[in-house]
Chains A and B, each alone.
Chain A
């Protein structure tokens, strides 16, 4: 051990300065480390970083890509907001991917059942069905947890694999496009106006799912600040014992948190299938449910933070694709880059709650 060591000292309360400064610091550190990685791969690091972080926002094609950021961030934010409520209360739903898939299947199933009826009510009913599908899938781990004390992390995770099998069954079987010549995949919603999740302003990327994400952010903020349930969630997470004395019913809390997160994930899936994705296909699930977990943490389980984290995450996806296409960076390098960003964000977060002290001699 060296003579000088770092020592962490807990702050009495989280530092307001570092709370905002750490994400910026993490992004800067990622740029340095990522730049080194890109240079190692024989690419111009400055150009690569600029392509990822600058071009989607202000580059030549920003008029298109800014909208795409919303398309990519919408489902991430919607799912992450739901998850964050449970995470705060110590309820670990990490199977949002499965709930997202089931929401899409339910939502799409309702619409395809009445195809080609044109009715204004179809889309709202699809939203409800999508939310219901996700809720239902989340209720399985919730009920098993409350009834049998089964670990919800694993049950919800296992159900992701089950949902993926149901999805491939839907694409090749019960939701398959009868006019698709036997190919897998449902009808495309782009040719079914009543069920289409339209882009609200052309080129903006704004669709109903993005709107729902914004509403969810506001609702979650209000819930946590003003509502009894929000108080119970925070209490259960910080002091489970005290929560019980304060009359928080753990069963009810589990069912509420899992239900909300499942319903939001299901809605996200439904908006995606009726909008950007356009159809139920074997590869419909693209990992939003898992990425949203990371987004929830990057946003510090805070609705506003999740909004920003979702946008940053979307930026690395969209910008990463640009770098991959234009600079020939392997897509794996972009994945590594995203991993680094997460590492740094998680790592420097320590500065929010702890003070770094340089001490002489051995560390504790």
Chain B
């Protein structure tokens, strides 16, 4: 059988092996490939994934070929083709770094059982060679909420949401709960931008908030525009999102949540090399080094900084869970009883605000 027909049968789903046996034996060299939803230069989400890719090259040198990546891959039919091309092209492990690639990842994985697929932020693992990974961003939101509650002078804090999906909603809830805890008068305004990335719109949203007296702004969209807007008004602060956004230090950017994918990527590719790789559903947070709290600047009083860092460390050590009862839902019904912590299942499907947040989640 020549190489071409062999590939053809692989594509047809019969899945004959090429590239060596993976699971048990380990490999001499791994080709790791990446699919990005945005440009590497977005300064946020995709940029951080690409940093993880570069970390692979640094960690493994010649043993890993991590030069293959594709930017701006639309979610849907195009992603399926890109994934197939990568699998045909000899990638051993493919990281698909956006939620929208979920079904395409599983569909292509079915045809290439010897290629490992790692899907970020999804929940479907229909085949043994599909793993999922995500980060507990809400842990970082708790720290931000604490800072926000302490720092606000107008008692109005804001949150720019992208889409009303569980990941965003749990971030909003975590942010609000921890602001409320240190400042019972705090009020939260949520603006839904319905985009992950639209700098002008994000800037406008931040501006609208500032004009109505909001003085601490968190964003779950990917650009630095809200910070750039905050920079125009003295006294308004915000946080870096996805990447450190250190250009806006020391104020308005007083801290940040950094998505650090490098530890996970290095771990998984390492496992592939030494033969310990197995299907996984990873959801690491501060403890696993995936969620980093960027430097808290001097714009924050030392005691607030110390409290925030203590919270970060407690979450990292596992002694504190940001969703610890008693917590009621927005309609007043009970969610978590005293001392109870939120099960992961509740968080992953979260579609309600906690008590005290005004406004509805768009349905």
Contacts and interface: CB of A to CB of B under 8 A. Distances in A.
Interface of A: 60-61, 63-65, 68, 71-72, 165, 168-169, 172-173, 181-185, 188, 190, 202-203, 272, 275-279, 281-284, 286, 318, 321-322, 324-326, 328, 330-332
Interface in B1-47: 3-4, 7-8, 11-12, 33, 39
Interface string B66-82: 01111111111110111
Kindly name the residue among A61, A183, A184, A277 whose own CB sees the greatest number of chain B CB atoms within 10 A.
A183
Nearest to A273: B76
B12 A325 contact: no
B81 A318 contact: yes
Given A184-B165, A281-B76, A324 B70 contact: yes
A118 B69 CA distance: 40
B299 to A, nearest CB: 35
A272 B76 CA distance: 9
Contacts of A185: 100, 102
**Chain B interface extent, by class:** 35 or more
B76 A324 contact: no
B163 A184 contact: yes
B11 A63 contact: yes
B70 A321 contact: yes
B77 A71 contact: yes
A60 B4 contact: yes
B78 A286 contact: yes
Interface stretch (B262-270, B281-289, B347-355): B347-355
Contacts of A71: 77, 81
A308 to B, nearest CB: 21
Given A277-B76, A281-B100, A326 B68 contact: yes
Given A71-B77, A203-B11, A331 B163 contact: no
Interface in B129-187: 163-166
B81 A181 contact: no
Given A168-B163, A276-B80, A286-B76, A181 B12 contact: no
B276 to A, nearest CB: 28
B269 to A, nearest CB: 18
B81 A325 contact: no
Nearest to A283: B75
A190 B108 CA distance: 12
A169 B361 CA distance: 12
B88 interface: yes
Contact of B88 (A64, A278, A286, A321): A64
Contact of A321 (B75, B85, B164, B363): B85
Given A61-B88, A181-B166, A326-B89, A203 B72 contact: no
